Amino acid sequence: MNVRPYNCPKDLEMVLPKSQDDWSKEDIVQLLEYMEKSIPSNERHTFKMTQSMVDWEKVAFKDFSGEKCKLKWLEISYNLRKFCTLKEIIQEAKENVNNPSKSRNHKKHPDLPKRPLTAYLCFFKEIRPQYIQKHPKMSNQELTKVLSEEYKKLPEQLKLKYSGGTADTVQGGP
């Protein structure tokens, strides 16, 4: 089994020379620090825009050319969130290098909208309090099982109530 560094995409892996694997943790941290220093303090552009403006020759250090630094950055940034500024992403990359176990848990942006509840969960949320009052000694596991069976027995017309749809839209009405 071929293991790619940082879950690098296969097409990027083909571009990366084998010497890219010679990067130590300290080298990666140093790369990120040089990148951070090269970003203007008032930088407010998106990740992609700022990344395209980086002067990689100014980031180069030791035996690592600007091109090698850019390729290593592309490898590192592949799994990072990209809907914020480059400065924030570099900070996240530093945290990932220093705490590799935490890098698996990608942080979601707090402003991202949440998915709507499924029809079953809407039903469950509405009916559960009534069942708890009727059957106070029932465990959560038993209660969930009973409510699941109740939901399965519901006619499609009633299920539509919980999915937000109407009978007209399902049957091709206006």
Low-confidence ranges of the chain (pLDDT < 50): 1-20, 103, 166-174
Q: Domain spans of the chain?
A: 17-112, 119-161
Query: What's the pLDDT at 8?
Result: 43
Tell me the sheet residues that pair with 64: 61
CB-CB contact of 148 with 119 (8 Å): no
Take residue 105 and report the two structure tokens written for it.
């848990």
Within 117-164, where are the H helices? 119-134, 140-153, 156-163
Q: Which pLDDT does position 144 carry in this prediction? A: 92
Q: What does pTM read for this prediction? A: 0.42
Q: Three-state SS for 159? A: helix
